[in-house]
Amino acid sequence: MNGAESLVRTLVAGNVDVCFANPGTSEMHFVAALDRVEGMRCVLGLFEGVVTGAADGYFRMRNRPASTLLHLGPGLANGLANLHNAKKANSGIVNIVGQHATYHIDYNAPLTSDIEGLARPMSAWLRTSPDAQSVAKDGAAAIAAARHAQIATLILPADTAWNEADGIAAVPQDAQRASYSREAVEAAARVLRTGEPTLLLMTGGALTERGLALASRIAGKTGCKVMGQTYNPKMARGRGRFAIDRIPYVIEQALPSLKDFRHIVLVEANDPVAFFAYPDKPSLLKPEGCEVHRMTDQGEHSVAALEALAGVLGAKAADAQPQQLVELVQPTGALTHAAIAMAIALAIPENAIVVDESITTGRGFFPPTAASAPHDWLQNMGGSIGFSTPVATGAAVACPDRKVICMVGDGSAMYTLQSLWTQARENLDVTTIVFANRNYQILKGEFAGVGAGEMGARALDMLSIDRPTLDWCALAKGMGVPARSVTTAEDFAAALAQAVAEPGPKLIEVVM
Amino acid sequence: MNGAESLVRTLVAGNVDVCFANPGTSEMHFVAALDRVEGMRCVLGLFEGVVTGAADGYFRMRNRPASTLLHLGPGLANGLANLHNAKKANSGIVNIVGQHATYHIDYNAPLTSDIEGLARPMSAWLRTSPDAQSVAKDGAAAIAAARHAQIATLILPADTAWNEADGIAAVPQDAQRASYSREAVEAAARVLRTGEPTLLLMTGGALTERGLALASRIAGKTGCKVMGQTYNPKMARGRGRFAIDRIPYVIEQALPSLKDFRHIVLVEANDPVAFFAYPDKPSLLKPEGCEVHRMTDQGEHSVAALEALAGVLGAKAADAQPQQLVELVQPTGALTHAAIAMAIALAIPENAIVVDESITTGRGFFPPTAASAPHDWLQNMGGSIGFSTPVATGAAVACPDRKVICMVGDGSAMYTLQSLWTQARENLDVTTIVFANRNYQILKGEFAGVGAGEMGARALDMLSIDRPTLDWCALAKGMGVPARSVTTAEDFAAALAQAVAEPGPKLIEVVM
């Protein structure tokens, strides 16, 4: 078998059995191997940002890596923005990038570029296979790295794919990983026992149904507050689950939300920091004198740590805080932000996966959707817009039995709209809701936030995308996804009901 | 004035008066400055690949740089593929990338990334401004670098934009640049006088009407052959201009086209190299024993060198080779590649700018279009597909009085389809012709070329984009560009005639 086949067989044997791909000439032997190897599902994207974002969504839902297949430096470059988002989400990806044959690189052909240089900023693990005999072993090492929730970039020169290889390689045994630190749990318990105002700030693996239930008990027992980061890779939400607030995005709201805390206990979360810097406003959001204590870090077992913490504190199920949920009432009339939020909260079906890139429109979605049917809520961790439609695509590939609801602003959706085609091709069960406010609405607030003064006509022109208006029904139709446009709450509710009832991709344009 | 305003004023004073932009929060002070500074045209793109590709097209047509405005690392990342193409085309760009405020970078906020690391592979000049007082001077240095046909990346931390600056800066005086080497011209003359089979291989600045006319005289006088590279940034073509062949893309055709040459004289061109490596085929295309002589390099004045060479050789206007042009006859019936080529050759209007990313469909376009009205022909220099619709956009901004005809395969067009929206918004005179063969057709040839054997169902599935078919009329409508679909040569000719007659953006889907 050749190097490409040895790699595909190694991937399948290593449980990496989905490949999101946009291949070119240098990857043709990998593509050819798909016909000789059983067990690899290859999903085509028409743009590389779809490919890498889909791999992010897949990891978030399955907690194991998919692979990508990208065409040399520029193909990788097109995928970097969503690799950035995936890196910040701690999503593991076996990121495979073709390269010219080793002996061809120095001739500076048109597609030659510094692929390792391009990959390095987003890759925790990075290797160019030197020969066909190394490809399987390198692929296995990439799988091992990606299982540790990292981007592992494997660059595959064409001759290492077509030359004869030795066979497949086994993924190296996992090193024993720390579950959590008992000392850190006891330190957290000491803080919580002081009775001083304390925030339990959670993200990552802590935000499962079980992790949240434990946090609720701890809060009930000790009086601490529990919050999530502004953005979280995946959060269990909906009826019967402990509903927590997140730190607000807007710094003028974030600062008061944290101002009274004397301690912050971090459960995988970061010391809270402003998304952007603003003149004369702080970068760090905690108040002066607030002490920060890390209980778990990314990669540790936060739920086990929370179990231990609850045990040390004697926090029991009966201590869980009672919750006041918003009453959900079918909205009517104009498509206000509140009406949109309510309609979505009512429509989310049991076990749905909600991918949230709603930006300004969605700032009020959290309270009503806490009363929705149980679901998972995925957010953008790296701030590079165009994340949601690819992540929804990958999540739908990962979980074919779950409805995926992708909520996205029209500005964001344009970056990676090619996702819709892959959803149509694979008949993925994704409902995309595009909030067509026809602005980079968030930037209007940011313009004021950074103290840029009064907005003149030219500045306004750079933040408005209404000339011409985008016709999302036409764009969806162009890529084979049925769509409808709504302008009232009643129409929106009807469109959502239809989309939830029927499987397969749909798009709803919410004209605001 | 603040740093952002000092930069915008420096750009305008330095004759960089078009900015292709997709800004975010960290760039809001730059956007605000647009309202305080006269003379900067800011063109919004909804995806950064449109922005950077447009800057490439602008430089090719105006021979002076435009600027970009990109949002931090991921915004830059989305623009890298077309920066790669621009770099390989020797297009100068003042590539401006926002960054977090200097004091905010270390907090690792979501959008934080290694921006310099991302920029380095595509940038000949790279600098992060350290403070507001430096921004104007750094901007001026970036302009100077970009004027030398290079990518100059200036990274602008937000506080360097909003803090108080000292004023504008003048662009440093150009160092005296070599026009050409007299010795190299004389060496070329000696080679040409031997009478041995010699190829004059030209690209870049040599491919103007005047450069081609001089080459024709030299060929007539000495018997040498004149060819262009497979891909060239811009070539003067059409009736009354010396029509030259290019080295074929397909290696099995390229090798015989060069096999008889004893010498190759390079006029800006590269020693010819295969686009990709193929097993058991050479990377370098020249025959064994062929001597390569460089007459001019990129940045030298090739037309002046050709003038000198013609002078040394005594080649006069009367020596110019007579040419046999294809007779153009309006095609009828099926949309074969030949019929498509003929319809386009007839439709190209005087002084048009033709942007060619037609890949497989366009391989036969050169002979008939040599008989078209005089026009410029632009090609992809970096091989990263999705180049043409952005380059056409920038070319139309650069030359509002010229018709731009963008020819693109459906696979390629999907990478940067957001270009259509900018064309609609700016009412640019671009006719986009999408060849809808519903395949990554070139890869079917490449699959065989790299010796990947028989194509099975799964491999074929990765090269076919017909499930679902893309509806290009709907996609264009979705972005505000009128479109029609054609299935016969007559319909295509009618659609072309209409598109040429009416100004403004149009799209024609050629269903094959």
* A468 contacts on B by Cβ (under 8 Å): 421, 424-425, 479-480
Residue A74: closest C-alpha in chain B: B81
Computed over every residue of chain B, the mean pLDDT equals 96
Token look-up 């052959």 returns B225
C-alpha triplet B93, B99, B104: angle, nearest 5°: 165
* B462 contacts on A by Cβ (under 8 Å): 21, 23, 31, 34, 42, 44
Cβ separation B449–A100 shorter than 8 A: no
Cβ separation B462–A277 shorter than 8 A: no
Measure A69 CA to nearest chain B CA, in Å: 11
Residue A102: closest C-alpha in chain B: B277
- Return left, alpha or beta for A108; rule: phi > 0 is left, psi -120 to 50 is alpha, else beta: left
Q: Residue A29: which of B386, B450, B471 has the nearest Cβ? A: B450
Cβ separation A109–B32 shorter than 8 A: no
pLDDT at residue number A321: 82
Cβ separation B382–A74 shorter than 8 A: yes
Cβ separation A475–B470 shorter than 8 A: no
Cβ separation A28–B452 shorter than 8 A: yes
Cβ separation A162–B451 shorter than 8 A: yes
Q: Residue B273: which of A109, A159, A270 has the nearest Cβ? A: A109
* Helix H or strand E segment including A268: none
Asked if residue B176 has pLDDT above 80, the reply is no
* C-alpha–C-alpha distance, residues A339 and A336, integer Å: 5
Mean pLDDT of B269-280: 96
* C-alpha–C-alpha distance, residues A487 and A333, integer Å: 9
pLDDT at residue number B54: 98
* B77 contacts on A by Cβ (under 8 Å): 77, 80-81, 84, 384
Cβ separation A31–B452 shorter than 8 A: yes
pLDDT at residue number A176: 62
* C-alpha–C-alpha distance, residues A22 and A174, integer Å: 30
* C-alpha–C-alpha distance, residues A278 and B101, integer Å: 8
Cβ separation B459–A380 shorter than 8 A: no
pLDDT at residue number A177: 67
pLDDT at residue number A174: 75
* B108 contacts on A by Cβ (under 8 Å): 270, 273
Thinking of the domain A3-162, which architecture would CATH place it in? 3-Layer(aba) Sandwich (3.40)
* B409 contacts on A by Cβ (under 8 Å): none
**Residue B173 confidence class, pLDDT cut points 50, 70, 90:** confident
Whether the Cβ atoms of residue A52 and residue A390 lie closer than 8 Å to each other: yes
Give whole-number Cα distances, A404 to A61, A413, B353, in Å.
Answer: 11, 16, 45
pLDDT at residue number B359: 86
* A74 contacts on B by Cβ (under 8 Å): 80-81, 84-85, 382-384
- Beta strands (DSSP E) in A330-409 are 352-357, 375-379, 404-409
* B457 contacts on A by Cβ (under 8 Å): 35
Residue range B337-511 in CATH 3.30.479.10:
no
Cβ separation B471–A455 shorter than 8 A: no
Cβ separation A414–B47 shorter than 8 A: yes
* C-alpha–C-alpha distance, residues B74 and B71, integer Å: 7
B287 preceded by a cis bond (ω within 30 of 0): no
Token pair belonging to B446: 């490449």
Residue A478: closest C-alpha in chain B: B471
Q: Can B3-162 and B337-511 be said to share one CATH topology?
A: yes
Query: Which stretches of chain A drop beneath a pLDDT of 70?
Result: 175-178
Measure B91 CA to nearest chain A CA, in Å: 14
Domains of chain B by residue range: 3-162, 182-319, 337-511
Mean pLDDT of B154-173: 96
Measure A439 CA to nearest chain B CA, in Å: 11
Cβ separation B81–A81 shorter than 8 A: no
**Which of A25-29, B68-72, B178-182 is predicted least confidently?**
B178-182
Residues 6 or more apart from A159 whose CB is under 8 A from it? A101, A102, A103, A131, A132, B277, B279
pLDDT at residue number B175: 67
> What CATH class has A182-319?
alpha beta
* B25 contacts on A by Cβ (under 8 Å): 276, 442-443, 446, 449-450
Cβ separation A104–B274 shorter than 8 A: yes
Q: How many Cα atoms sit within 13 Å of A510 on the Cβ side?
A: 32
A374 preceded by a cis bond (ω within 30 of 0): no
Cβ separation A275–B110 shorter than 8 A: yes
Q: What is the ipTM of this complex?
A: 0.97
* A73 contacts on B by Cβ (under 8 Å): 84, 121
Q: Residue A121: which of B104, B118, B424 has the nearest Cβ? A: B118
Q: Residue A120: which of B117, B421, B477 has the nearest Cβ? A: B117
Token pair belonging to B124: 């000949």
User: Best interface-test mutation with B: which of A84, A91, A230, A359 has the largest number of B CBs within 10 A?
Assistant: A84
* B411 contacts on A by Cβ (under 8 Å): 46
Q: Residue A277: which of B103, B121, B457 has the nearest Cβ? A: B103
The backbone torsions φ and ψ at residue B467, rounded to the nearest 5 degrees and listed phi first, read: -130, 90
pLDDT > 90 fraction of chain B, expressed in percent and rounded: 95
Measure A267 CA to nearest chain B CA, in Å: 17
Residue A48: closest C-alpha in chain B: B415
Nearest Cα neighbor of B242 from B321, B296, B344, B307 is B321
